[in-house]
A and B are shown apart, each in its own frame.
Chain A
Amino acid sequence: MAEGGGIRGEYRVRRTLGDVVFNSVVDFFDGLFRPIQALIGSKRMPYVFVLPNLLVFVIFILIPMILNFSYAFTGGQQFFLADRTPVGGDNFAHLFDCGNFLDPNTCREDTFWIAMFNTVWFVVLQVGALVVVSLGTALVLNQKVKARAFFRSVFFYPVLLSPVVVALIWRWILQNDGLLNALIVAFGGERLPFLVSVGWTRFWVVFISVWSQMGFYTLILLAGLQSIPTELYEASSIDGANRWQAFRRITLPLLMPTMLVVLVLSVIRAVQSFDIVYAFSNGGPGTATTFMVQYIFNTAFMPPNQYGLAAAASLVLASILLILTLIQLRVGRQSELA
C-alpha cells in the first residue's frame, strides 16, 4: 500500500508475515462481530463503531463537565461528592469578594485575581510576540531560500520537546552560573538574576513559551502564504507596486483567515498555560508567574485541597474560553464576509 495507495493495490497478491498476522486478526474479530451484525442488522452497525469513542467521551469528558458544577456548589476538603456539603454559591461569592476588582490585594481570594491578571498580561504579550515572530519567520521561509525544508525543521524542532525538557534546558542556561550570564560577563557586563527577579522571570516565561511554540504557528502561516497565487504578485509588480505595497495589499488580506486560526489557537492555549511554567518557575517567585490553571491546580491538589473553590475557578476559566471562542468565531465570519 505504501506505493501510491489506490485501489489496484488491493488486488496485488502479496503475503508477508504481517499480512498473515493481520488476516488472522481480521478473521478473529470478524467471528466476534458477525453475530452482533446478525443480531442488530447491518443498518445499526455504525452505532457499534461509534460506541467505544462515545463511551470514552461521555465518561471522561461529558460527565466530568457536569460533575464540575457539583464541586463548584459544594464545600469542604472531602474529595468524594457524597461527603461534601452543599454551600450554594458560596465558592463564587468567595472568588468574587473584592473591594476593587482592579486591585487583587483588596480581594478575599487574592491569588485568584493575581492569577487572573498574570494570565491577562501573559496572553497579551505571549500571543503578540508569537504572532509577530511566527509571521516574520513564515515570510522569510516563504522566499526562495536554499534548504527551506531544513530551516523549517529547525524552527519546528522545539515544538516537539516536552514542556519539562524545555523548562530544564532554559533553567540550565539562565541559572546564575549559566551560559547566558557567562556571555554577559564576557562582554563586560554584570550577572543578571534571571531566575530570581520578578521581572526577569516573567520575561523568560513569555520568551520560552514563544520559543517552544513558534515553529507550530510558523508552519500554519507558511501553508497559508503558499496558498496565495503567485500571479497576484507578478501582476502587482507589473503595475509597479513595491514590496511593502505587495505585502500590505496582497499578503496581509489574503493571509487574514490563517492569521485568525493562529490567533484562536494561540490565545486558547495561552490562557491555559501550565506545564512549561510549572517546570520553569512553579509560578514564582512568589506568585509572579502563577496563571489560572496553576491556581486551579494548587488550590485543588495542594493542602488544604479546596476542591470547591478550584472547581468554581475552573468554571470561570471555562466561561472565559467559551467567550473567547465565540468572539473569534464572530470575528472570523465578519472577515469572511468583508
Chain B
Amino acid sequence: MGAIGKFLGRTHGKRGPDWADYVTYLYLILGTVLMFGPVMWLVTSSFKQQSDLLRFPPRLLPYRQEMVEVSGYDEPLPLYVVVFEDGTTRELARVRRVGIEGHHVDPANPEEIIKVNINQTTPVEQVVFSFDNYIRGIERFNFLRYFVNTVTVTAVATALTLLVNSMAAFALSKYQFRGRNSIFVLMISTLLVPLSVILIPLLLTIRSVGWFDSLIGVIIPSIATPTGVFLLRQYMLTIPDELLESARLDGASEWRIYLQVILPLARPALAVLAIFSVMWRWNDFLWPLIVLQSSEYKTLQVGLSSFSGELQTQWDTLLAMTVLTLLPVTVVFAFLQKYITTGIATTGMK
C-alpha cells in the first residue's frame, strides 16, 4: 500500500497524495472496468459452451468438463469427482443419471457400476477456450459472405471518399473561380440534412438508378462527406501556392499538380479521413439496413442485427459473431489510436 501511495503521491510533489488523487484514480479504474468490462465479458462468454452459457450465475471463464474414453462405451463419458460417505474421493465416469442417482464406472475397471447420490459428485472441469461457437457461427451465419461484403463496401467507399473529397478540396482551396464560395457553403450546409430526414426520397433515387439491393447503392451516397471536404480544404490551404506555380512553370497539367504535388503533401489529412471513413463505413447501419434486402448482399452489421432479431436468440453463435465483428475495428484502433484521438480533438468530427 505504501508503495502505491508513494506512486500516486508523485503527482503532487512533496506534499504527498491528497484526496483528489485518490478520487482521480478511483474514477479512472472504475471507468476502465465499466468501459472495457462489458467487451471482455462478451469475449470470454463467446468461448463458452452452450451448457455453460445457460448457467446461472455465470462463471467468469469458459469451462469444459473432462471426458474419458471407457472401454465398453461408444461415447466418451463425463468425469466426476465422487466423495464417499467414509470421506474418500475417487474420479469416476458417469454412465447415466437416474433421478438423483448417478451411475458411475471407474475408467480403470469399467465392469463395476457404482451408484452414488448426485449431490456427492462434482464435475471435473478445466478452463478451455473453445472455438466451437466460432466454427458453428461461421457455418450457420454466412459470416464470410457478410465479411466480404463489408470489406468491399468499406474499401471501395473509403477509396472513393478520399479521391472525390480531395479533388473538391483541391479546387476549393487552390483556385479562384466563379461560384466557389456558393459551392463550399452548399456542401457544408448539407451537414444540416442528415440521412434520417431523406430516407424515402433517397431510396427512390437509388431505386431509380437501379442500385437497390446492391453494394453500390450503399457505397455511392456515402462518398461525398462534407466533413471530409472541410478537413482536407483546411489542410490544403496551408500548402504554399508557390509550389503550384513552379510546377506549372515546369509544364505540369492541373491534374498532375493535384496528384503529384497536393496529394503527397496532404497525406496526414488524408490519413485521418481514411481512418474515419473506414470506421464510418464498417459500422454503418441505417442505410445498409434499408438498401440491402437479400442475404447475399448484407453487411455484417445488418446480418448481425437480423440474426439477433430471430425468434429464439442463439447466443452461442451470436456472441462469437459479435466478437468477430468488433475485432477489425479494435485492431485498427490499437494501432492507430494516436491518429484517431488527435484527429478528433483537432477537427471535432465523428
Contacts and interface: CB of A to CB of B under 8 A. Distances in A.
Interface of A: 1-2, 5, 7, 9-10, 25-26, 29-30, 32-34, 37, 42-47, 49-50, 52-54, 56-57, 59-68, 70-71, 79-81, 136-137, 140, 143-146, 149, 151-165, 168-173, 177-179, 181-182, 185-186, 211, 215-216, 219-220, 222-223, 243, 261, 265, 268, 272, 274-275, 278-279, 282, 293, 296-297, 300-301, 307, 310-311, 314-315, 317-318, 321-322, 325
Interface in B144-197: 163-165, 167-168, 170-172, 174-175, 177, 180, 183, 186-187, 190, 192-194, 196-197
A145 B24 contact: yes
B265 A68 contact: no
B21 to A, nearest CB: 8
Given A37-B253, A42-B254, A157-B35, A67 B201 contact: yes
A269 to B, nearest CB: 8
A50 B196 contact: no
Contact of B333 (A33, A160, A216): A160
16 contacts: A7-B243, A25-B259, A26-B259, A32-B255, A42-B254, A45-B254, A49-B254, A52-B168, A145-B25, A149-B341, A157-B36, A161-B39, A163-B285, A171-B308, A172-B41, A220-B345
A1 B264 CA distance: 7
Contact of B199 (A34, A49, A296): A296
B55 to A, nearest CB: 8
Contacts of A177: 54-56, 58
A223 B322 contact: no
Contact of A30 (B32, B39, B255): B255
Given A68-B201, A169-B42, A297-B199, A56 B220 contact: yes
Contact of A64 (B198, B286, B322): B198
Q: Report, as a range, how many residues of chain B touch the other chain.
A: 35 or more
A151 B31 contact: yes
A79 to B, nearest CB: 7
Contacts of A79: 203-204, 207
Given A53-B167, A162-B283, A223-B346, A170 B38 contact: yes
B196 A164 contact: no
B133 interface: no
Contact of A49 (B167, B198, B318, B348): B167
Contacts of A29: 255, 259
Given A26-B260, A216-B350, A162 B199 contact: no
The 10 closest A-B pairs by CB, nearest first: A67-B201, A162-B283, A49-B171, A182-B57, A64-B201, A53-B168, A46-B171, A223-B345, A33-B255, A56-B224
Nearest to A179: B41
B264 A161 contact: no
B264 to A, nearest CB: 5
Given A34-B253, A140-B24, A164-B304, A60 B341 contact: no
B344 interface: yes
A85 to B, nearest CB: 16
A57 B187 contact: yes
Nearest to A183: B57
Contacts of A182: 56-58
Contact of B190 (A32, A61, A223, A293): A61
A239 to B, nearest CB: 20
B264 A154 contact: no
B27 interface: yes
Contact of B193 (A81, A156, A318): A318
Contacts of A216: 344, 350
B258 A144 contact: no
A36 B165 CA distance: 20
Given A46-B175, A145-B11, A53 B224 contact: yes
Given A143-B24, A272-B194, A322-B192, 8 more contacts: A53-B165, A53-B167, A146-B7, A153-B337, A169-B41, A172-B42, A296-B196, A321-B197
B204 A80 contact: yes
A272 B180 contact: no
A63 B259 contact: no
Given A10-B264, A30-B255, A152-B341, A140 B27 contact: yes
Interface in B279-335: 279, 282-283, 285-286, 290, 301, 304-305, 308-309, 315, 318-319, 322, 325-326, 329-330, 332-333
A50 B169 CA distance: 8
A2 B265 CA distance: 10
A73 to B, nearest CB: 13
A300 B180 CA distance: 37
B249 interface: no
A169 B322 contact: yes
Interface string B54-71: 111110000000000000
Contact of B11 (A9, A37, A144, A215): A144
B6 interface: no
A59 B165 CA distance: 16
B202 interface: yes
A68 B200 CA distance: 7
Contacts of B348: 220, 261, 265
B201 A173 contact: no
Most chain B CB within 10 A, of A68, A161, A162, A314, is at: A162
B319 A37 contact: no
Contacts of B165: 53
Nearest to A156: B341
A78 B315 CA distance: 39
A160 B326 CA distance: 9
Contacts of A44: 177
Contact of A317 (B55, B197, B200, B315): B197
